[in-house]
Amino acid sequence: MSGSIARRVALLLAATSLSLPALAQAAPTDREAELEARLLRLEAEMAAMKADLQQARAERSASSVPDDAVAIEVARAAEAKADAATAKLAALEAKPQADGFKVRGTTYKMGGFVKVVGSVTRFGNGELAGGSLGKEFFLPQQIPVGGAASTDVIGHARQTRLFFSTSTPVAGKELKGHIEFDFALAAAPLGAQRATNAYTPTFRRGFISYGNLLIGQEWTTFQNAAHLPETTDFVGPMDGSIFVRQMMVQYRRPLGGGLDLYLAAENPQTETLTSTSAAMVDNDQDRMPDLIAKLAFKDKTKELHVAGLVRSVSVHSAGTGDSALGFGGTVGGKILFGPNLRHDFRFVASAGRGIGRYFTVGYAPDAIYDRAVADRLNLVSNMAGWASVKLGWTDTLRSTFMAGYQHADYPDTLATPGLANVEAWSVAGNLFWSPVRNLDFGIEYRHAVREVASGLVGKMDRVEMAAKYTF
């Protein structure tokens, strides 16, 4: 503003000075009249410039030292802008983001979680050898029996998981691939905890799917892994669970109304004990796949499934052997209830004969087989189940209470080894807090009991804490 005024003054003075010689040569009357007119115009210009200068000073004063009313309005405007920015940020966070990236028509995704676990365990009747998986998550068959009490403290991040998947539209259907691994189930190398805690990645799932057909390694069709409860542990109520991942060819047929039919042929494997040893024997002479059919229903508030399994339990070696028919069934579900459906009830009940390897990572065998005594398979019967209730206290705070049970009945035709697992049960409760999305902190207490054929009992009490970041 001040620069403009100065330029205008300079131009007027120059115009006045240039006109003075001309006025001197004119008639006195004319010169005086013209000079008077020019002076009047100069005075008007000066008055205008003074007014402009005063307005500029007033604006500068008002902007540098606002009064109370102006300050309040400025503060209100700033607060409104901050609220708008916060609301916009929340909307962006809540909005579904692009999932994966696309190259030449194929969508690629990567995800998983980092999970860190620490626990204090008291074994009431013995101790576990170093590197045992039962130190790191609940395996009822590894609860010690027949010894003195021991305490174990351990921390690890071996449950950390990573997966890669692809999806390509082909002829109106999706052709998909999935690869997944973690570090949990490989035996810990001797001395690993001494320095670097280097653990071997272990393959979990790897399959191809096209439309309703799936081929590859996936959770057995005989279970529904999505129904497992939230826990700091690797599985939770392992003693009552069906738990198998294996090679399969699976076909899904939608029946409408939220109902699907699954048919699968899955990899066979027969697990046996002898009459004198409780060490599990892996027999790999199976002659037909395990056959499974499942009906699954899903709607907004519930998921239910019922499945049946038929298999050939088989041992054939050195020109001798035997086969027997194994069979079983399972039913389970998940039911949501409560405000905003924050609570849920989950359950699974299973029973069968000759299907022991499907329960609890082989807590009990499929059969007892002892060629030295009788060249025939003696099938073992199993029953197992678990139930849980999740209570969502708030949107970020929740608890799950769970209980599991399993019992194995051995045949009377052969002696049962004294350390063969007969019964296991557990109860547990936890508290989880999620301060922000994708970040969970949990603490859990579990009490578990194992009983073997000789009558020996082992007890376990564990307090476990976990932190998990899902990405």
Q: How do residues 272-292 score in pLDDT, each as one tens digit?
A: 999 999 999 999 999 999 999
pLDDT at 5 over 70: no
- Residue 225: the pLDDT is 94
- Residue 28: the pLDDT is 46
Same domain, 295 and 414: yes
Same domain, 140 and 47: no
From 64-73, 106-115, 159-168, the region with the lowest mean pLDDT? 64-73
Same domain, 61 and 128: no
The band of 177, judged by pLDDT with boundaries at 50, 70 and 90, is very high
pLDDT at 399 over 60: yes
Same domain, 435 and 332: yes
Q: Which position has the higher pLDDT, 81 or 22?
A: 81
Mean pLDDT on 17-34 = 47
pLDDT at 194 over 90: no
Q: Which candidate, 116, 406, 139, 122, places its Cα nearest to that of 232?
A: 116
pLDDT tens across 438-449, in order? 999 999 999 999
Q: Are 391 and 372 in contact (CB under 8 A)?
A: no
How many other C-beta atoms lie within 10 A of the C-beta of residue 215? 14
Same domain, 61 and 132: no
The band of 71, judged by pLDDT with boundaries at 50, 70 and 90, is low
Question: How many residues can be counted in the chain?
Answer: 471
From 93-97, 152-156, 185-189, 312-316, the region with the lowest mean pLDDT? 93-97
pLDDT at 70 over 70: no
Mean pLDDT on 248-265 = 98
Structural domain count of the chain: 2
Q: What percent of the chain has pLDDT over 90?
A: 71
The 3-class SS string of the chain reads CHHHHHHHHHHHHHHHHHHHHHHHHCCHHHHHHHHHHHHHHHHHHHHHHHHHHHHHHHHHHHHHCCCHHHHHHHHHHHHHHHHHHHHHHHHHHHCCCCCCEEECCEEEEEEEEEEEEEEEEEECCCCCCCCCHHHCCCCHHHCCCCCCCEEEEEEECCCCEEEEEEEEEECCEEEEEEEEEECCCCCCCCCHHHCCCCCCCEEEEEEEEECCEEEEEEECCCCCHHHCCCCCCCCCCHHHCECCEEEEEEEEEEEECCEEEEEEEECCCEEEECCCCCCCEEECCCCCCEEEEEEEEECCCEEEEEEEEEEEEEEEECCEEEEEEEEEEEEEEEEEECHHHCEEEEEEEEEEECCHHHECCCCCCCEEEECCCEEEEEECEEEEEEEEEEEECCCCEEEEEEEEEEEEECCCCCCCCCCCEEEEEEEEEEEEECCCCCEEEEEEEEEEEEEECCCCEEEEEEEEEEEEEEC
- Residue 74: the pLDDT is 53
- Residue 35: the pLDDT is 64
From 48-57, 210-219, 433-442, the region with the lowest mean pLDDT? 48-57
How are beta strands 281-283 and 290-298 bridged, if at all? unpaired
- Residue 381: the pLDDT is 97
Same domain, 315 and 431: yes
Distance of alpha carbon 87 from alpha carbon 79, whole angstroms = 12
- Residue 100: the pLDDT is 85
- Residue 82: the pLDDT is 63
CATH number at residue 362: 2.40.160.10
- Residue 25: the pLDDT is 42
- Residue 375: the pLDDT is 82
- Residue 187: the pLDDT is 80
Q: What percent of the chain has pLDDT over 70?
A: 81
Same domain, 120 and 43: no
- Residue 221: the pLDDT is 98
Distance of alpha carbon 355 from alpha carbon 359, whole angstroms = 8
Same domain, 455 and 386: yes
Place of tokens 């395996």: 139
Q: Which position has the higher pLDDT, 11 or 69?
A: 69
Is 317 within the bounds of a domain? yes
Q: 34, 50, 65 — which closes off a domain? A: 65
Contacts of 416 (CB under 8 A, 6+ apart): 273, 275, 368, 410, 453
Is 458 within the bounds of a domain? yes
Residues in a beta bridge with 374: 370
Place of tokens 């009357």: 29
Mean pLDDT on 119-130 = 96
Mean pLDDT on 105-132 = 96
Same domain, 232 and 368: yes
Q: Which position has the higher pLDDT, 336 or 10?
A: 336
- Residue 407: the pLDDT is 98
pLDDT at 126 over 50: yes
Cα-flanking dihedrals φ and ψ of residue 33, to 5°?
Answer: -65, -45
Is 125 within the bounds of a domain? yes
Same domain, 1 and 149: no
Q: Are 346 and 334 in contact (CB under 8 A)?
A: yes
Is 79 within the bounds of a domain? no
pLDDT tens across 316-375, in order? 987 888 999 999 999 999 999 999 999 999 999 999 999 999 999 999 999 999 888 878
Average pLDDT value over all residues in the chain: 88
Q: 30, 45, 65 — which closes off a domain? A: 65
Mean pLDDT on 130-140 = 93
Please give the C-alpha separations between residue 148 and each of 68, 145, 379, 382, 422, in angstroms, as whole numbers: 79, 9, 34, 30, 21
C-alpha 363 chain-centroid distance: 27
How many other C-beta atoms lie within 10 A of the C-beta of residue 144? 22
Is 142 within the bounds of a domain? yes
- Residue 18: the pLDDT is 42
Q: Which candidate, 181, 127, 180, 177, places its Cα nearest to that of 154?
A: 127
Same domain, 116 and 237: yes
Mean pLDDT on 148-156 = 96
Is 161 within the bounds of a domain? no
Is 140 within the bounds of a domain? yes
Model pTM score = 0.78
pLDDT at 218 over 80: yes
Same domain, 271 and 417: yes
- Residue 75: the pLDDT is 57
Q: 65, 97, 120 — which closes off a domain? A: 65
Is 232 within the bounds of a domain? yes
pLDDT at 90 over 70: no
- Residue numbers of the domain that contains 359: 112-153+216-470
